[in-house]
Structure 1
């Protein structure tokens, strides 16, 4: 890596914005057997208990900070911004079908996908006490240190 020190600031305040925008799904009836089978296939946008990273939001921030590798191609071109990645948290907590919903720059997009696909299992979402598949969006913020940008 170059001699310059790259300071990376990951800002995930929008995570809280996305999470607070979700409405909780409540049901007045229990899922019957056919609905339980359907919930294994169906992907929910919201759930009574939304999926969460083990250890909470601070643990998620720590994971991203420790594992992110700012691509040199993006550094050399001064590229930065927020990549939004959408993925499914499966009923067992695994992450599948990660895709870019808001692109910034190809190498930043690729790094955001790498981070998401490498994540440990999440605590799955639940409806009526049953684990369900839930779609989740996560913004990953890439910021260069202002000293590096001026060089």
Structure 2
């Protein structure tokens, strides 16, 4: 029975080898990564996105940032889902720049080891 539990736990962690970063990146893990202080603190951190270069006036934008939290908890490979870098808006670029300064997270865990994990979230930014 113990062997079956180990196999089930290993099967719960899924991912792919990222050739660019040269390490394995998980999409499903045993324990999710955690921002210091919790996800509410992460969203508070993200509210500091710069509006420099963004059109003045009212702004409401849904943005889907994607990034990898490596096995040390560092944020890497930041991008915007379903967009090529050439199509990034000024707001997208400002958001990426902010994410690149993000404090280290508590990394994801698989089989009691720290692992890299891909992470995507939806942000709705509203400014008046």
- TM-score normalised over the length of structure 1: 0.63
Q: How far is 1:97 from its partner?
A: 0.5
Structure 2 residue aligned with 1:20: none
Query: Where does structure 1 differ by over 4 angstroms across 4 or more consecutive aligned residues?
Result: 102-105
How far did 1:142 drift?
1.7
Q: Paired residue for 1:115, among 98, 107, 111?
A: 98
The question of 1:43 aligning with 2:25 is answered yes
* 1:75-129 alpha-carbon deviations (Å, 9 max, x no partner): 25x4431111111000000011111115696111111101211101011000111
Matched with 1:143 is 126
Long gaps (5+) in structure 2: 11-16
Structure 1: where are the runs of 5+ without partners? 1-26, 32-37, 146-151
Q: Distance in 1 between matches of 2:27 and 2:46?
A: 24
RMSD: 2.5
Equivalences, count:
110
- Higher helix proportion (structure 1 or 2): 1
Q: Structure 1 or 2: larger strand share?
A: 2
Match of 2:42 in 1: 60
Corresponding position of 2:6: 28
Give, in angstroms, the shift of residue 60 of structure 1. 1.0
User: Post-superposition shift, 1:70?
Assistant: 1.9
In structure 2, what is the equivalent of residue 90 of structure 1? 70
Contact kept in structure 2, 1:125 and 1:134, CA below 8 Å: yes
In 2: Cα distance, 1:97 partner to 1:114 partner: 11
Q: How does the TM-score come out when normalised to structure 2? A: 0.73
Asked whether the equivalents of residues 31 and 109 of structure 2 are also in contact (C-alpha less than 8 Å), the reply is yes
Larger Rg: 1
Q: Using the alignment, how far apart are the partners of 1:144 and 1:62 within structure 2?
A: 14
